[in-house]
Structure formats: structure tokens, C-alpha cells
Amino acid sequence: MPVLDISLKNFHLDMIDIRQQANVRTALVFGASFLGIYWAYRQFSRRHIKLPPGPYAFPIVGNMPQLAGVVDPWKVFLRHRAKYGDVVMYSVGSLKMVVVCGYKTIREVLIDKGHCVSNRPNWLYIIDKLFNRSGVFWSNGETWKNMRRFTLVTLRDFGVGKKSLEERIQEECMIMVEQIDKKKGQAFDPKQFLAKAVSNIICTIVFGTRFDHNDPEFNLLLDHLDFLFKNAGVAVPENFFPFMAKLRSNKPAQKMIDNDTEIQKFVLRKIEEHRRSFDPTLTRDFIDMYLKVCQDETETFKVSEKDVFRVTVDLFLAGSETTATSLRWVMLYWIRYPEIQERCYQNIMEVAGDGRLVNLTDKVDLVYLMGFLNEVLRVVCIAPTSPPRAVNEEFKVNGYTLEKDTMVLCHIKSAHFDPDYWDNPEEFNPDRWIGPDGKLVKHRAFMPFGAGVRACMGESLSYMELFLFAANLLPRYQFKVPDGRKTPSLEGKQTGVTMQPEQYDVIAVPR
């Protein structure tokens, strides 16, 4: 009975098929129910979390219309703080951003809960394209830990706090003196001099060499870095809506990437030059340190070329503009308050009146000058809102939950003007830094370099530069507003990350 045989076999196969289909269906129903229950559980359990309040967020674009392209975002954040409190939430698409104000709350976030906000939001489109999750500024996790360690050791080994770097900064200051002398009392904008002098200090640490101020390669590098610094901010729409990178006719994202490629070529040329002259017994600079680590077979920690390039750019981006801009503010406050400039000068004369160069050991005696520098950093607050962090572990602050991956900005300027921690915070007063014993006092709400695990890595270097430049320029010149010109305002503008003073000229009258 072959026919029946076949049909029986078919029947058997059909049964298997039906049973398999039933199994698949059961699995699907079971899976869907599980997901449904899980979703309901998540919704229910998250109903109890209290997110921070904030201004109305539009569908899809969220708060982008209120924030994109805003000049002085720190002022907008302060207006919202007055309405919503110390923790204010914004959103763009599905991303959440929180701005934290006031010293007490900032401290709680950056120090007490610092381990929960140790990431940077490196998923932002342009930032991710540029920084490639490498280097130290925008990396996270193991890469960040390794690169932070490598960078700190290298900065220490190549002179931060050491005599050799001190001499290099003094030398750079004297080159600036030669150039100021050439002005012969004519008005000039100190911006370029200061930018080149400070960048040359980073060049010394990274490449082991300085550049002539007229070197075209150096000037091109500075132009590229300046472009990147001014444009690679967080509040660029492409960071949140990558499709806009193709839509916007002026293609700002592509320009930044092209610009970054040019800097990359420069650094790679320097790495090649170093490779040709490399001597493992003589580590000359940051790049040599990288080559050494690469060649050392016993070294467990490996640095990639991508990382070394990125850290180099990180050091330029984080270290040149910030310090050079601080020095421009220092000069502006001198010309705005001639009597304070005179007190700084007298303070230096008491210690180094014989015309010698001021060095780092003089710092303890130059208390008024140090108080003045701190006061400039306080009132100006070069980075009024700190570079963003990202929540890596959900936590609560002031009763509000900050969910994982929320972007966090700390409003440093609000801490610097917090009336609970400063007497007359609006007043520019270097004397607030001098204690009854005549020594420099510390103020805990002073945090121009951020705080916690990701605090600035260049604080000591910056102070070295600010102090040595200020203390060695002032004995040589009295800085003044050019005759007949209006005294520049102290208002300033936040462009990108930093507070920029308005363009101004000075005259330097030899003492």
C-alpha cells in the first residue's frame, strides 16, 4: 500500500510542522507577554522617579530652539535657575541635559557623586566624529583612565613645576618683551602675542621645540586649532540630529572634520620626524614618551597613534586658548583698574626690585599678585559652564533623579558668585584672597578648573604660566588704554566654551 504509506508519512510530517509552528507561536506569545510585563514594570517603577523641572520642551526638537546659537548660554541658564531651582532639565530628541547651579549642589554632583558622572557624552555626532572616543578629553572607561595616567605622568616628567619649564616660560615671556619693545609705545592688541607664547609652551612639552612667531606652519596650526575651539561646541544642531550634517548648505560639520584632518597631518609629520631621530635612552618630549611606550615590550599599557594624536590636540585645545584668554583678561583688568595694576607692580618690586626675573619660588611672597590672578579667574570664570559630563550611573540630587546618559553641565560661574560663600560677590576685590596673617587664603567655592575625577589636568601648568607671564611683564611696562580711546568693557561674551573679552588695544609704557 505505497499510496497510503506516503499519505501517512505526509500526515506525520504535517503534524510535526503544526507542532513546530505552535511552539514558535507559543514562544512568540510568551516573549511578547514578557516584554509587555517588563515594559509595564519599568513604566510603573519609573513613575516614582522625579525628573528635574525645566522650560517647556517642544516635540522632537525639545529645547533646541531656546538654546541653539545662543550667545552667553550661562545667562540663559541663570534665568531658568531663578524659575526652576538649582537643577534644571532640558531635552533634545530623546537626550536629556541637566544644568546644575550653586556651589553646594555642584559639589554634591562633582565630588560626592563624582563616580556617577565620570563620563563625557562622546556620542554627540560631531564630537564623536572628531574625537573618535580616543585621547583624554572625550574618552571614557579604560581608554580615559589609561590616557589620563599617561598624560599626567608625561606632563609631570616634562616639566610642570620644574626648573626647565620655568626657564622656558620666562624665555617665552622675554621674546614677548622684545616684540612689545618693537611697538615703541604704539597701541597693539595683545591677543596674538599671548596666544603664540602660550601655544609655544605646549609645543615645548609635546614636540620638544618652540616655533618662531612668524613660522607659517605654526600660524596655520594655530588657525586650525582656533577654528576647532570656536566651532566644536555642544550646542551645534548636528550633534543631536546627524542628518543635518548633509542638509546644511555651509556644511559646518564637514569643515570641522577637514580642519581636524589638517591638524592630524601636522602631528603625524612631527611623530615621523621624532621616529627618525628617536633615541630610547633620551626621552625629549611627549612624542618620544609615546614612541618609547610603543617600543617597550614589557610595557603592558599600550598607547595607539590615534590616542597620541588626540591627546596632543586635547592639550592644545584645552591648554592654549584657556590660558591665553585668561592672560588677556588679566591685562584688561590691569588697564581697567590702574590702581590695582600699581599694587601688583609694587608687590613685585618688594620681592624682585633688582630687575632679576621673577621665578616660581617668589610665589609665596607675591600674595597680592596671586590674589589678583585668582580674583580675575573668579569673576571672569573662563569656562562659565564646565565641559559636559554624562551620567554613567543613575543617582539623585536635590530629590531629582538623573538618569543614565543624561548630559550634565555644572554652572561654575554660579558657584563663583554664590552669596552663601562670598562677601559682595559682584565686587572685584583681590584683597578677599589675603588672610589676616598676610597669606593667600583658599575659597572652597572657587573652581575655575572644575572638580572631581575629571578636573582639569593643566591647573598647575596654567598657574605657572599666568604667574610667570604676569610677574615678568609688569616690572617692564605700565599697561594703559591708548590715549583718546574708550576704556574697554569688562562684559565679555561666551563663544563656544570660553568667555572672550571684547577686542581691545593697549599701550605698554616702559618703566
The sign of the dihedral angle between the CA atoms of 65, 71, 73, 78 is: negative
Which of 99, 136, 370, 408 touches ligand HEM (CB under 6 A)? 136
Query: Residue 407 carries which DSSP code?
Result: E
Q: Contacts with ligand HEM: how many residues (CB under 6 A)? A: 28
Query: Residue 360 carries which DSSP code?
Result: G
CA dihedral 71, 75, 77, 78 (to 10 degrees): 180
Task: Provide the minimum distance between the beta carbon of 98 and ligand HEM in the complex, in angstroms, as a whole number.
Answer: 14
Task: Provide the minimum distance between the beta carbon of 165 and ligand HEM in the complex, in angstroms, as a whole number.
Answer: 11
Query: Rounded to whole angstroms, how far apart are CA atoms 505 and 482?
Result: 7
What single string gives the DSSP state of each residue in 168-201?
A: HHHHHHHHHHHHHHHTTT--B-THHHHHHHHHHH
Task: Provide the minimum distance between the beta carbon of 456 and ligand HEM in the complex, in angstroms, as a whole number.
Answer: 3
Under the binding rule (CB under 6 A), the answer on residue 137 touching ligand HEM is: yes
Contact region with ligand HEM (CB under 6 A), list: 47-55, 163-171, 311-319, 469-477 = 311-319
**Which residue pairs, CB below 8 angstroms and at least 24 apart, start in 272-281?**
274/207, 274/208
Under the binding rule (CB under 6 A), the answer on residue 99 touching ligand HEM is: no
Task: Provide the minimum distance between the beta carbon of 374 and ligand HEM in the complex, in angstroms, as a whole number.
Answer: 11
Residue 500 φ/ψ, nearest 5 degrees: -105, 135
Task: Provide the minimum distance between the beta carbon of 461 and ligand HEM in the complex, in angstroms, as a whole number.
Answer: 5
Q: What angle do CA 161, 166, 167 make, to 5 degrees?
A: 155
Task: Provide the minimum distance between the beta carbon of 323 and ligand HEM in the complex, in angstroms, as a whole number.
Answer: 5
CB closer to ligand HEM out of 460 and 478: 460
Query: Rounded to whole angstroms, how far apart are CA atoms 172 and 182?
Result: 16
Contact region with ligand HEM (CB under 6 A), list: 322-330, 360-368, 482-490, 500-508 = 322-330
Residue 457 near residue 155, CB atoms below 8 Å: yes
Under the binding rule (CB under 6 A), the answer on residue 383 touching ligand HEM is: yes
Angular region, 233: left φ>0, alpha ψ -120 to 50, beta rest: beta
CB closer to ligand HEM out of 62 and 151: 151
Under the binding rule (CB under 6 A), the answer on residue 374 touching ligand HEM is: no
Contact region with ligand HEM (CB under 6 A), list: 269-277, 285-293, 321-329, 483-491 = 321-329
With CB atoms as reference, the residue minimizing the distance to ligand HEM is 458
Residue 341 near residue 479, CB atoms below 8 Å: yes
Under the binding rule (CB under 6 A), the answer on residue 309 touching ligand HEM is: no
Task: Provide the minimum distance between the beta carbon of 453 and ligand HEM in the complex, in angstroms, as a whole number.
Answer: 7
Under the binding rule (CB under 6 A), the answer on residue 382 touching ligand HEM is: yes
Under the binding rule (CB under 6 A), the answer on residue 148 touching ligand HEM is: yes
Residue 100 φ/ψ, nearest 5 degrees: -110, 130
Residue 263, C-beta contacts closer than 8 angstroms, at least 6 positions apart: 221, 224, 225, 228, 313
Task: Provide the minimum distance between the beta carbon of 466 and ligand HEM in the complex, in angstroms, as a whole number.
Answer: 7
CB closer to ligand HEM out of 117 and 245: 117
Q: Which three cell numbers stand for residue 495?
A: 563663544
What single string gives the DSSP state of each residue in 290-309?
A: HHHHHH-TT--S---HHHHH
Residue 456, marked binder: yes
Which of 126, 315, 499, 506 touches ligand HEM (CB under 6 A)? 315
- Strands 407-410 and 477-480, sheet pairing: unpaired
Binding pattern for the stretch 194-233 against ligand HEM, x by CB under 6 A and - elsewhere: ----------------------------------------
Task: Provide the minimum distance between the beta carbon of 314 and ligand HEM in the complex, in angstroms, as a whole number.
Answer: 5
Which of 172, 238, 288, 314 touches ligand HEM (CB under 6 A)? 314
Query: Rounded to whole angstroms, how far apart are CA atoms 58 and 242?
Result: 19
Under the binding rule (CB under 6 A), the answer on residue 323 touching ligand HEM is: yes
Contact region with ligand HEM (CB under 6 A), list: 77-85, 96-104, 283-291, 318-326 = 318-326
Binding pattern for the stretch 425-464 against ligand HEM, x by CB under 6 A and - elsewhere: -----------------------xxxxx-xxxxx--xx--
Under the binding rule (CB under 6 A), the answer on residue 387 touching ligand HEM is: yes
89, containing H or E segment: strand 87-92
Task: Provide the minimum distance between the beta carbon of 120 and ligand HEM in the complex, in angstroms, as a whole number.
Answer: 6
- Strands 493-495 and 477-480, sheet pairing: unpaired
Rounded to the nearest 10 degrees, what angle do helices 367-380 and 459-473 cross at?
120
251-280 positions binding ligand HEM, by CB under 6 A:
none
Q: Which three cell numbers stand for residue 402?
A: 538623573
Sequence ranges of the binding site for heme:
456
Residues that bind ligand HEM (CB under 6 A): 110, 136-137, 148, 314-315, 318-319, 322-323, 326, 382-383, 386-387, 389, 448-452, 454-458, 461-462
